[in-house]
Amino acid sequence: VNQVLLFLLIVTLCGILYKKVHKGTVLRNETDDDSEPPEEMEDEIPVVICAAAGRMGAAMAAINSIYSNTDANILFYVVGLRNTLSRIRKWIEHSKLREINFKIVEFNPTVLKGKIRPDSSRPELLQPLNFVRFYLPLLIHQHEKVIYLDDDVIVQGDIQELYDTTLALGHAAAFSDDCDLPSAQDMNRFVGLQNTYMGYLDYRKKTIKDLGISPSTCSFNPGVIVANMTEWKHQRITKQLEKWMQKNVEENLYSSSLGGGVATSPMLIVFHGKYSTINPLWHIRHLGWNPDTRYSEHFLQEAKLLHWNGRHKPWDFPSVHNDLWESWFVPDPAGIFKLHHHSS
């Protein structure tokens, strides 16, 4: 009996020792395997970009340009309306973009009900996805800092640089000043651009006058945003933007001279005097304003980000510098989105 008990005791001890050693190995291996991802998670750069039904090719070209020009760990939040989500996924998964790290996010336009005037001179700007930038914290949860980009951009630099933009204490976002652009004055003379608040707000209205903002104040462009989500939520930025959307529905406060003030105007009011600035080369704009106005090739090569804001998009005709855009174009696997260039 004693020998049997001794044998059982030895077996039990061996079993305990084996479990401990084995468990230690498993934990160590898991730790070894996981030693990098937590750091990677911290270094993950979230980029929000919208993919609208009629211009999905724009978002895909922008994503391709970002992904191709960086070694950073990018997480793309591709935002669409419900009826386009499967098409977005198909385009990514059946093209060269299949390697990207992405999440597809549905934007519910009912949040905009009663907040948009239907009488814009540019109806395409009333597209619901134009207002996604107002609702960043509702779409992005686990990130402190986020990049938002319009779909009609191409990134030629390393997006890590843009992400590293310093936001001053108490600032929820960084933008590009419309007066900062090299050769901006020349461009404005050519295309009749307005780069001050007067171009976006109707100063004949008492509500606008009462803001106490000089009409000659330099505007900024919210097509490229580096945002701090903690400050955004703390300052209730989304609520403030919605308030000014509502006021515009009631009082028609925005200038129609640009017709582009639908999403820009509320941001100009809410962020007035409370934003940091982005390096000007990270937002070279106005490429879509006039098909007869071109930047110098040298200047375009220096640019880190190109933005075809305006009516003349690089996938349509007429447009300028569309060769730069087309070099990043990813053909639509469904064959729906096509380039319309009747001339080069």
Residue 176's closest CA among 99, 241, 264, 260? Answer: 264
Question: Given this model, what pLDDT does residue 16 score?
Answer: 59
Find where tokens 């934007």 sit. 107
Q: How confident is the model over 37-73, as pLDDT tens digits?
A: 443 445 899 999 999 999 999 999 999 999 999 999 9
Question: Given this model, what pLDDT does residue 157 score?
Answer: 97
Note whether residue 106 is domain-resident.
Answer: yes
Average pLDDT over residues 96-106: 97
Note whether residue 190 is domain-resident.
Answer: no
Note whether residue 30 is domain-resident.
Answer: no
Query: Which pLDDT band, with edges at 50, 70 and 90, does 80 fall under?
Result: very high
Question: Given this model, what pLDDT does residue 22 score?
Answer: 47
Are 265 and 246 in contact by the 8 Å Cβ rule? The answer is: no
Q: How confident is the model over 153-171, as pLDDT tens digits?
A: 999 999 999 999 999 999 9
Note whether residue 201 is domain-resident.
Answer: no
Find where tokens 């075809």 sit. 308
13 or 164, which is more confident: 164
- Residues in contact with 254: Cβ distance below 8 Å, sequence separation at least 6, in sequence order: 200, 201, 202, 248, 261, 262, 265
Average pLDDT over residues 319-337: 92
Note whether residue 214 is domain-resident.
Answer: no
% of the chain residues with pLDDT over 70: 78
Sign of torsion over alpha carbons 8, 12, 13, 18: positive
Residue 321, SS3? coil
Note whether residue 309 is domain-resident.
Answer: yes
- CATH code of the domain containing 61: 3.90.550.10
Q: What is the pTM of this model?
A: 0.84
Average pLDDT over residues 192-214: 87
Q: Which two tokens stand for residue 165?
A: 């933009």
Note whether residue 10 is domain-resident.
Answer: no
* Sheet with 276-277: strands ordered across: 101-106, 74-80, 45-50, 145-149, 220-228, 173-177, 276-277
**With the CA atoms of 87, 93, 94 and 100 taken in that order, what torsion angle do they form, in degrees rounded to the nearest 10?**
120
132: domain range? 45-183+220-251+262-327
* Dist CA 129 CA 51 (whole Å): 8
Note whether residue 315 is domain-resident.
Answer: yes
Task: Report how many domains make up the chain.
Answer: 1
